[in-house]
Amino acid sequence: MKTVRVGQIGTGFISHVHVRALQSIEHVEVVCQHSLDRDAGRLFHEQYGVPDFLDSYATLLARDDVDVVCLGIPNHLHHELAMQIANADTVLGDF
């Protein structure tokens, strides 16, 4: 079975829930994580052993090794990012 590679956006409460759940699923790998808050992002990256921390979500969307993007950001920010994810031909995961 193919491993699904996930890019996580956000570092708030729900991002912790998402990543813990994702890391418990066989054939799923969280390959990178993005946050506008660099300190929180780097701490999150280290806490969960996510291979790459990115300070640009555009960089995350441009990666060839991201199959699905998981949004862990406030709901009112979902639409704009979801549209950019769709335009990048990446799947948006709604976990």
Prediction pTM value: 0.87
Instruction: Give the 3-state secondary structure percentages of the chain, helix then strand then coil, rounded to 5.
Output: 45, 25, 35
The conformation of residue 75, written as its DSSP 8-state character, comes to G
Average pLDDT value for residue range 36-57: 93
Average pLDDT over residues 15-28: 97
Residue 46 token pair: 């280290």
Q: Most distant CA pair in the chain: distance in Å?
A: 35
Element (H, E) at 64: none
User: DSSP string spanning 71-83?
Assistant: E-S-GGGHHHHHH
Average pLDDT score over residue span 17-30: 97
Q: 10 vs 77, which has greater pLDDT?
A: 10
> Which of the pair, 72 or 88, is modelled with greater confidence?
72
